[in-house]
Amino acid sequence: EVDRFSPLHDDCLPHDCAGLILGGGYPELYAQTLSLNTAIMQSIQRHCAQGMVIYAECGGLMYLSAGIICGDQRHPLLGILPSWVEMGDRLRRLGYVQAQLQQDCPLGQAGEVLHGHEYHYSHLLKEPAGWEPLYLCRDVRGAEPRAEGWWKGDVTASYVHLALEALPQTLDSWVKHCTQKENFA
């Protein structure tokens, strides 16, 4: 069952939430409001500590981070991914990618190739300590494969936007992982 919530307006996650998808978007536009909603951040942090499955992509990765740096302003966020994100003034990545899973994780089995795209101006200031690489990405231009995304326990985070509607096996794997963890609270 899918239930929606707003990290801008809600003060807690829906009851009995076993999994959380933090999709893409533009959190830098709402960084101050997101940062001030400590109630929802505490709810997500508490659920994460209890084993909730989280999938975060691009803007979701940014929300999962220690916070967003926009110019001379710092906006603390969830702090689950232990690195700050810094906004840049130029596009860092744009295009379609093939993302090969590097290890078994909630999204699937090591070696599976997922398809998605990247579009972002931000970057992590440092690699998140204690987190494993999630993907080996290849772009359509044939550039050298590169590591992208991070995984730790039940949390996956990446700048790659997956085309989940075209990847039913990935979505099924994630939902199965959620239902196995459903009684975490």
DSSP assignment letter at 7: T
103-127 pLDDT, tens digit per residue, is 999 999 999 999 998 888 899 999 9
CA distance 85 to 153: 21
Question: Which residue among the candidates 58, 105, 137, 178 is catalytic per the annotation?
Answer: 58
CB 52 within 8 A of CB 17: yes
CB 130 within 8 A of CB 152: yes
CB 111 within 8 A of CB 133: no
Residues for the chain: how many in total? 185
pTM (2 d.p.): 0.91
6-64 pLDDT, tens digit per residue, is 999 999 998 888 899 999 889 999 999 999 999 999 999 999 999 899 999 999 999 99
CB burial string 37-55: b at 16+ within 10 A, e below: beebbebbeebbeeebbbb
Residue type, 16: D
Q: How confident is the model at residue 185 (pLDDT cuts 50, 70, 90)?
A: very low
Tokens of 110: 């090591």
Q: Is 48 a catalytic residue?
A: no
66-83 pLDDT, tens digit per residue, is 999 999 999 999 999 999
List beta partners, residue 19: 53
Answer yes or no: is pLDDT of 183 > 60. no
Q: How far apart are the first and last CA of the chain?
A: 17
Strands (E), 39-121: 53-57, 65-70, 73-76, 81-87, 93-101, 113-120
